[in-house]
């Protein structure tokens, strides 16, 4: 109970640095979930929609990538974008932007995979009808996406949850830089390493509270 009290006190203290950390966390998670959804939802629906050659392999690769270790994804992005790397000219090392890049790499497969399985179920019933009346494939995907929309909220929340809780990749590419790229998870790690276990726990509780608020806001929109 003391920890919860401390977490609440932490929020009420109006500490500017804490607000910066929360803001960076939300900006990073919202952007990475948004971009990943723009890629993953249509892609997932297209894959899940119907039987085509190579579908099984694509699904298996997607599912494998869902388990991509965050640190490995972070390392890949780090190697690509560091100043001596092939994409070093972008100069985005240790910025929120590169954190979003790493997160998109991590979350897109999750969103794609979940969208594919959601679409698979609905497509079965819908697909026959659509084929029967001769609707073009692109339109079929769009139609299916509308049918799947209620599920999309849930899928995006899973992506958001993974994004907000991730630490390995974002600390590697973001650098956990104070006032700049520090997020909730890397702040928790830092406080732990400092030996400030109480503050670390309070931050952890605060992170859960933020997640809870986001889920509560989205809750009415997820039907079925």
Site of interaction with another protein (CB under 8 A): 53-54, 56-57, 82-84, 93-94, 171, 175-180, 182, 186-187, 190, 192-197
Radius of gyration of the chain (CA): 20
Q: How far is the CB of 208 from another protein (least distance, A)?
A: 22
Q: How far is the CB of 57 from another protein (least distance, A)?
A: 6
Tokens at 217, concatenated: 């806001």
**Measured from the CB atom, is 155 or 188 closer to another protein?**
188
Residue 200 falls in which region: left (phi positive, over 0), alpha (psi -120 to 50) or beta: alpha
Q: How far is the CB of 156 from another protein (least distance, A)?
A: 29
**Measured from the CB atom, is 98 or 115 closer to another protein?**
98
Integer CA distances (angstroms), 32 to 7, 97, 174, in order = 26, 9, 14
Give the dihedral of Cα atoms 22, 38, 96, 106; nearest 10 deg. Answer: 90
Q: How far is the CB of 152 from another protein (least distance, A)?
A: 30
**Measured from the CB atom, is 129 or 196 closer to another protein?**
196
What angle (nearest 5°) sits at the alpha carbon of residue 87, between those of residues 187 and 94?
15
**Measured from the CB atom, is 13 or 83 closer to another protein?**
83
Tokens at 62, concatenated: 């997607």
Q: How far is the CB of 194 from another protein (least distance, A)?
A: 4
Contact 140, 49 (CB under 8 A): yes
In terms of Cβ atoms closer than 10 Å to its own Cβ (0-12, 13-18, 19+), residue 156 is buried
**Measured from the CB atom, is 1 or 84 closer to another protein?**
84
């Amino acid at each position: 109970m003391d920890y919860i009290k401390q977490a609440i006190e932490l929020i009420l203290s109006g500490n500017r640095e804490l607000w910066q950390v929360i803001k960076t966390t939300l900006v990073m998670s919202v952007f990475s979930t948004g971009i990943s959804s723009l890629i993953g939802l249509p892609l997932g629906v297209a894959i899940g929609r119907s039987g085509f050659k190579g579908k099984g392999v694509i699904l298996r690769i997607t599912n494998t990538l869902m388990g991509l270790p965050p640190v490995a994804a972070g390392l890949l992005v780090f190697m690509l974008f560091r100043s001596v790397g092939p994409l070093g000219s972008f100069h985005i090392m240790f910025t929120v932007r590169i954190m979003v890049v790493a997160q998109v790499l991590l979350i897109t497969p999750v969103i794609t995979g979940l969208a594919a399985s959601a679409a698979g179920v609905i497509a079965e019933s819908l697909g026959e009808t659509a084929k029967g009346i001769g609707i073009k494939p692109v339109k079929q995907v769009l139609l299916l996406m509308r049918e799947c929309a209620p599920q999309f909220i849930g899928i995006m929340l899973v992506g958001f949850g993974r994004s907000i809780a991730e630490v390995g990749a974002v600390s590697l590419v973001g650098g956990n830089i104070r006032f700049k790229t520090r997020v909730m998870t890397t702040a928790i790690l830092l406080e732990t390493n400092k030996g400030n276990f109480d503050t670390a726990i309070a931050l952890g509780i605060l992170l859960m509270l933020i997640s809870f608020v986001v889920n509560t806001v989205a809750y009415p929109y997820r039907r079925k």
